[in-house]
Amino acid sequence: MNIWVMESDSGITLVYKPYMDFPINEDLVSGLLTALNQFTIVEFKQGIESIEMGGLRWVYISDKDTNLLFIGADSKDVTAETLRARLDVIRYTFIQQYAHKGNRWGTKWAGNVEIYKPFENVIDEYYTQWKQAERITTVAEFFDILGIYQQILNLVINVIEGDLSKEKREIIYVKIEQMFKHYSDLEIVKKNPELSKITFGRRIGFNIINIDPMNCDMFIVEKQILGLIRRIVEILKEEEGYFPSLKYFIKENIFDYLMSNFNLLNDLNLFTFLLQLFLIK
């Protein structure tokens, strides 16, 4: 999210707080934003409320009493309503702090934008709160994903322990242990300590639920777990053969588990991947 507080007529930026990088000069952006708003006022008798431009969603709030223009830009994943609500909080706070008497605003800022520099810290506080609120949903979803992966790994262990011969079980366990040894030496694991909490032991099986989503890049963790599951299933198919493995997957109710959790898996964009993983050669 990037935020501007501007003087409407002159286009002078009083406060600019970026959280996204722009590939062009910020002064040019500010001038363009003001010009667009002025154009719509002249031609359509009202200012811009929301537009999509440059792959981003832009929201404008004009405060007539202070002649200020508040602009917010964020990805299209953020709705205009959410972006507008956040921008309005910033508008209200700024006016309360610097311009709560609208008729005196013209003499308050007097062309010196440095006096508004501390307001960037206020925006930072709001931004942190909004991101934490978003993260609650993300973390809840991530726990759902971890739970699904853990159960799938448990079912795979059931196949190894309950359906394979002692000799094949030993071969597969040795390969899994070698895979984990190689995994622990990976640079990505060293750079992301939470990945080291993915463990395997012959007596206890796999454990991934000790990962703390608040201390990791959840995208990286999920990608690594998927890679491990894929490799373990491939080891089973390589050692037992496709059709015997498929029979074991059916016997241990892996497909029943996937189907019984279809809605959740589908919402998390996991159903097709997992079904293909166990079903296709």
pLDDT in the model for residue 245 = 94
Determine the Cα–Cα distance for residues 181 and 266; give it in Å rounded to an integer. Answer: 33
CATH no. of 2-117: 3.30.450.70
Determine the Cα–Cα distance for residues 40 and 48; give it in Å rounded to an integer. Answer: 6
* Residues 143/208, Cβ–Cβ less than 8 Å: no
pLDDT in the model for residue 156 = 93
pLDDT in the model for residue 103 = 44
* Residues 85/68, Cβ–Cβ less than 8 Å: no
Determine the Cα–Cα distance for residues 263 and 106; give it in Å rounded to an integer. Answer: 57
- The domain spans of the chain are 2-117, 137-279
pLDDT in the model for residue 221 = 87
Q: Which residue has the tokens 């498929």?
A: 246
pLDDT in the model for residue 28 = 54
Instruction: For residue 166, give the amino acid letter.
Output: K
* Residues 3/91, Cβ–Cβ less than 8 Å: no
Determine the Cα–Cα distance for residues 139 and 172; give it in Å rounded to an integer. Answer: 33
Q: Which residue has the tokens 């508004």?
A: 116
pLDDT in the model for residue 258 = 92
What global pTM score does this model have? 0.59
Which portions of the chain are predicted below pLDDT 50? 39, 42-45, 47, 102-103
pLDDT in the model for residue 277 = 92
pLDDT in the model for residue 36 = 58
* Residues 138/218, Cβ–Cβ less than 8 Å: yes
pLDDT in the model for residue 37 = 52
